[in-house]
Amino acid sequence: RAIANDINMLKIMVALDLTANMAGYSGVSAHHRMPDDLALTVKDLPEIAPKYPSMENLLNADADFYFAGWNYGMEVGGAVTPSTLAKYDIPTYAIKESCAHVQARPYVSLEDTFYDIDSIGAIFNVPERAKALNHGFKQRLAEVELRLAGAPSKAVFVYDSGEDKPFTAGALAVPHAIIAAAGGHNV
């Protein structure tokens, strides 16, 4: 059964109605306040780790699949990676956006997210659910594009965290693609 790391991977699993396929989730409570509706949906699933799970967390949860990303549950050279999990027959799916940490990419797009949803749908044999979810997102994006036709672009700064200096999302993060889709310019 799967472990989804980070609230966004958890939301994909829930949106595809895959909670019955899950052993739990990780990487949520240390970074996010879970929305009430999501908390209710996953109330029977344990959070196996508030941040990145350790190999022991994953093995103790009897995970047989890990849905994460580079810097979203896995660190390059860290203890939990696709190759270290393979030794325990735990396949991994790393979100496409995060692959910028292990291969050169000029930017991230919303197509990367659609690709991830399609991939998880294929892995869990629910491709029609994935197709319907992506179709709904694409319809909403088309509506936004129509509403924004002719509107001036606005400069946007994403403040993620940080006190001494801000931590933000650049061209290699999905917020950049969301800002562009909403007619903004990510500073």
In DSSP notation, 117-150 reads: HHHHHHHTT-HHHHHHHHHHHHHHHHHHHHHHTT
AA letter at 111: E
pLDDT tens, residue by residue, 9-65 = 999 999 999 999 999 999 998 888 899 999 999 999 999 999 999 999 999 999 999
User: What residues does 72 pair with on adjacent strands?
Assistant: 69
Q: How far apart are CA 78 and CA 58, in angstroms?
A: 14
Q: Would you say how long the chain is, in residues?
A: 187
- Residue 78 confidence (pLDDT): 93
What is the structure's pLDDT at 132?
98
Q: Which residues contact 100 (CB under 8 A, 6 or more apart)?
A: 70, 108, 172
Q: Model confidence over 92-125: pLDDT tens digits?
A: 999 998 887 777 877 789 999 999 999 999 999 9
Report pLDDT for 174: 87
134 or 108: which carries more pLDDT confidence? Answer: 134
The reported pLDDT for the residue numbered 161 is: 82
User: What confidence score (pLDDT) does residue 30 get?
Assistant: 84
Tokens of 184: 């903004």
**What pLDDT, on the 0 to 100 scale, is given for residue 32?**
81
Comparison of pLDDT for 31 and 73, the residue scoring more: 73
Q: How far apart are CA 83 and CA 153, in angstroms?
A: 43
Question: What is the arithmetic mean of pLDDT over 128-136?
Answer: 98
Residue 53: both structure tokens together: 């799970």
* pLDDT at 167 (0 to 100): 83
pLDDT digits (tens, 9 = 90+) for 144-176: 999 999 899 999 998 888 889 988 878 788 888
